[in-house]
Amino acid sequence: MRDKIFKNIWLVSMASFFLALALSIGVIYGVFSNQNREKLKTEAESLISAIENGERDILKDASLFSQTRVTLVNRDGIVEFDSASAAVGENHGDRREIIDAFEKGLGQSSRYSETLSEKTENYAVRLKDGSVLRVSDSQISLFSVLAEMAYPFLLAIAAALVISFLLASKLSKNITRPVLEMNPNLPDSRFVYKEFKPFIEKIQNQNRQIHAQMEEMQASHEKQEAMRREFTANVSHELKTPLTSISGTAEIIKNNLVKPEDVPHFADNIYKEASRLIVLVEDIIKISQLEENRIPQSRENLDLLPAAESVKERLESAAASAGVKLSVSGESAVINGIPQVIDEIIYNLCDNSIKYNKCGGTVDIRISKESEKACLSVSDSGIGIPAEEISRIFERFYRVDKSHSKEIGGTGLGLAIVKHGALLHGAVPRVESTPGVGTTVYLEFDAVPQNTAGNN
């Protein structure tokens, strides 16, 4: 940055120097030339008044009172008198100033010598008798001035180069120092130029944003860590309960404390607890697969209606033994999803609706299509969920009624699997529930347009 600022300052100062030099030379030379022209005019006028007063002989002395050259050209353009004597007899009728003087009474011109080293100013006036008096003066041309001044000019340029180099270097250091010395973590606009204020404010804003993001990340990290600890504690607890029961029952049998006729009952107990353990472990595996997006199946176009019918068939007997009537309604709606995960979602919702229902209650799985959405809802006429609990039921191992969880069954992971499975499909479950009346869980998926529904 400093290098660039330095180069720019140096460039600007050198450009200003050259511009100022050229302008001053031009102006000085212009003033000098004007003065010369004025001098010629004054001399011409005094000569004319003398000649017209009959003192023509003054021409012979003209060279005495000035360095100028005086020429008298008759009406035919022939030089009758020339103080330099060189042009007498020549025809000067074709010279610009002479032509103008013949035509308009006054003519002026400037002519450069062949080498461009001299410039001659001519001032010509027509006399009453029709002849023309011309006064000329040669002055050094601008080119010669520059050529003669070359040495001092080069010296001045060299001095300007050195001085501007030193100044530019100092200035660029002064400009960049406060910025370079600024602490980017704590930028303070009081220590830099006011031009930098918007830049400093930008850094300050960015710092605030980074700070807020870091705090957010820290909070989220802490939350995740707390969730992980809670999950581990819950898993240990959920595993320990059936294992303790299995171990205790097995110990009683081992110590021959069970009557032979009671052995099947105890064995059934072990079988049930072991089955519960297997379901729990399977649910934990499912959750971690969903969280890490490691589902063995790939996505395909699938119709929610037959998927719901299939779940209904498998849960029919469970519903019947709970005295609950299970139904599927609605229309076909195709989505692009992972069949195993969608099946799991519908199954868990339906299973809950049967489990948390009343004898004689109903469960309806409804599939519908609204514009570009495929909607799935599972409604029941069950026990319902208190409003303050609704936000928590998707947490792992969260149960509204902890005391009856064992007899009702379930791992406490069903809705967590629903939530993660839905999120994987871009859907967020929404719950409406009234205690004692029933619960409905809604899910909205992106529908596959009808004409492409057949292609996977």
**Residue ranges that bind ligand ADP, judged by CB under 6 A:** 348, 352-353, 356, 380, 382-385, 393, 398-401, 405, 410-416, 439
Q: Output 170 or 240, the one with its CB closest to ligand ADP.
A: 240
Q: Is 386 helix (H, G, I), strand (E, B) or coil?
A: coil
Q: Output 98 or 354, the one with its CB closest to ligand ADP.
A: 354
Measured CA to CA, the distance from residue 330 to residue 327 in angstroms comes to 10
Residue 392's identity, in one-letter code, is: R
- Phi/psi class of residue 130: alpha, beta or left (left: φ > 0; alpha: ψ in -120 to 50)? left
**What's the closest the beta carbon of residue 251 comes to ligand ADP, in angstroms?**
28
Q: Output 107 or 429, the one with its CB closest to ligand ADP.
A: 429
**What's the closest the beta carbon of residue 386 comes to ligand ADP, in angstroms?**
9
Q: Output 68 or 348, the one with its CB closest to ligand ADP.
A: 348
CB proximity list for 374: less than 8 A, separation 6 or greater: 304, 333, 334, 335, 367, 368, 444, 445, 446, 447
257 phi, psi to nearest 5 deg = -95, 0
**What's the closest the beta carbon of residue 407 comes to ligand ADP, in angstroms?**
11
Measured CA to CA, the distance from residue 453 to residue 303 in angstroms comes to 9
**What's the closest the beta carbon of residue 243 comes to ligand ADP, in angstroms?**
18
Helices 150-181 and 2-52, packing angle to 10 deg: 150
**What's the closest the beta carbon of residue 248 comes to ligand ADP, in angstroms?**
24
Burial call 149-161: b when 16+ CB within 10 Å, e when fewer: eeeeeeeeeeebe
If one counts every other C-beta atom within 10 angstroms of the C-beta of residue 340, the result is: 13
In total, the chain counts a number of residues equal to: 456
Residue 24's identity, in one-letter code, is: S
User: Contact 439/432 with Cβ under 8 angstroms?
Assistant: yes
Q: Output 356 or 445, the one with its CB closest to ligand ADP.
A: 356
* DSSP notation for 101-145: HHHHSEEEEEEE-TTSSEEEEEEEEE-TTS-EEEEEEEEE-HHHH
Measured CA to CA, the distance from residue 310 to residue 49 in angstroms comes to 130
**What's the closest the beta carbon of residue 197 comes to ligand ADP, in angstroms?**
56
Q: Output 245 or 348, the one with its CB closest to ligand ADP.
A: 348
**What's the closest the beta carbon of residue 218 comes to ligand ADP, in angstroms?**
29
Q: Which residue has its beta carbon closest to ligand ADP?
A: 410
* DSSP notation for 79-102: EEEETTSSSTT-B-TTSHHHHHHH
Q: Output 283 or 444, the one with its CB closest to ligand ADP.
A: 283
**What's the closest the beta carbon of residue 433 comes to ligand ADP, in angstroms?**
7
**What's the closest the beta carbon of residue 181 comes to ligand ADP, in angstroms?**
59
Q: Output 197 or 430, the one with its CB closest to ligand ADP.
A: 430
Q: Output 375 or 393, the one with its CB closest to ligand ADP.
A: 393
**What's the closest the beta carbon of residue 352 comes to ligand ADP, in angstroms?**
3
User: Contact 52/64 with Cβ under 8 angstroms?
Assistant: no
**What's the closest the beta carbon of residue 408 comes to ligand ADP, in angstroms?**
7
Q: Output 289 or 439, the one with its CB closest to ligand ADP.
A: 439
Q: Output 142 or 345, the one with its CB closest to ligand ADP.
A: 345
Local structure of residue 403 (DSSP, 8 states): G
Measured CA to CA, the distance from residue 175 to residue 7 in angstroms comes to 13
Measured CA to CA, the distance from residue 385 to residue 35 in angstroms comes to 108
